Amino acid sequence: MSKKTLGVLVAFAVVIAACGSSSGSSKSGGAYGNSTSTTAAPDASTTSKPSTNATSTTLQLVSTSLGKVVADSKGRTLYLFVPDGTSTVSKVPAGILSLWPPVQATGVPTLGPGLTAKSSTGAQPNGQQWVLYNGHLLYAYSGDQKAGDVTGNGIGSVWYAVTAAGGPVQS
């Protein structure tokens, strides 16, 4: 599937999800393990299991075709979602969290060499702690198959890999 086709499908999924219910849950998996996530505004009775990466997290820089970008401890590229801005609460529609699983941690992430922006976590309405770097929530992309892949960059003009300084890689 081409990046353009995938971008159109993701954009369509965003529209469909935005028109649907404002609460619910979705399973995520693929290259990033299994986790259960809820929408950004679940009702108070919603509970969810922590992600398989819900531990102390290490962020690092990896070399990619886009240059050096922020990655998890396994070298998988991490992305920001432009509509999130610097909010600590995600605006990603629940319907696409299976494609873009959030990075979760139980404590402040450890930063590898070359990463100097502030890292922290942001509590979601469901109680999960999601990782922020330079004020941006971080997500993996299930379409990336191996360390250093950056196939999610630019999808829908809202998903971008993250630079060492904490901004979007806009190629």
Least confident of 41-50, 53-62, 87-96, 124-133: 41-50
Joined together, the tokens standing for residue 86 give 């610097």
Q: Hunting for tokens 């494609």 — which residue is that?
A: 99
The answer on pLDDT for 43 being more than 50 is: no
| Bridge partners, residue 38, by sequence | 25
pLDDT band at 140 (very low <50, low <70, confident <90, very high): very high
Calculate the CA 163 to chain-centre distance. Answer: 14
What does the domain layout of the chain look like in residue ranges? 3-161
| Bridge partners, residue 139, by sequence | 79, 102
Does the pTM surpass 0.75? The reply is: no
* Contact assessment for residue 146 and residue 152, using Cβ atoms and an 8 Å cutoff: no
Burial 40-79 (b: 16+ CB within 10 A, else e): bebeeeeebebbebbeebbbbbbebebebbbbbeeebbbb
The answer on pLDDT for 14 being more than 60 is: no
SS3 sequence of the chain? CCHHHHHHHHHHHHHHHHHCCCCCEEEECHHHCCEEEECCCCCCCCCCCCCCCCCCCEEEEEEECCEEEEECCCCCECEEEHHHCCCCCCCCCHHHCCCCCECECCCCCEECCCCCCCEEEEECCCCCEEEEECCEECECCCCCCCCCCCCCCCHHHCEEEECCCCCECCC
In terms of pLDDT, which residue wins out, 33 or 3? 3
pLDDT band at 67 (very low <50, low <70, confident <90, very high): very high
* Contact assessment for residue 137 and residue 130, using Cβ atoms and an 8 Å cutoff: yes
pLDDT band at 170 (very low <50, low <70, confident <90, very high): confident
pLDDT cut 90: percent of the chain above it = 63
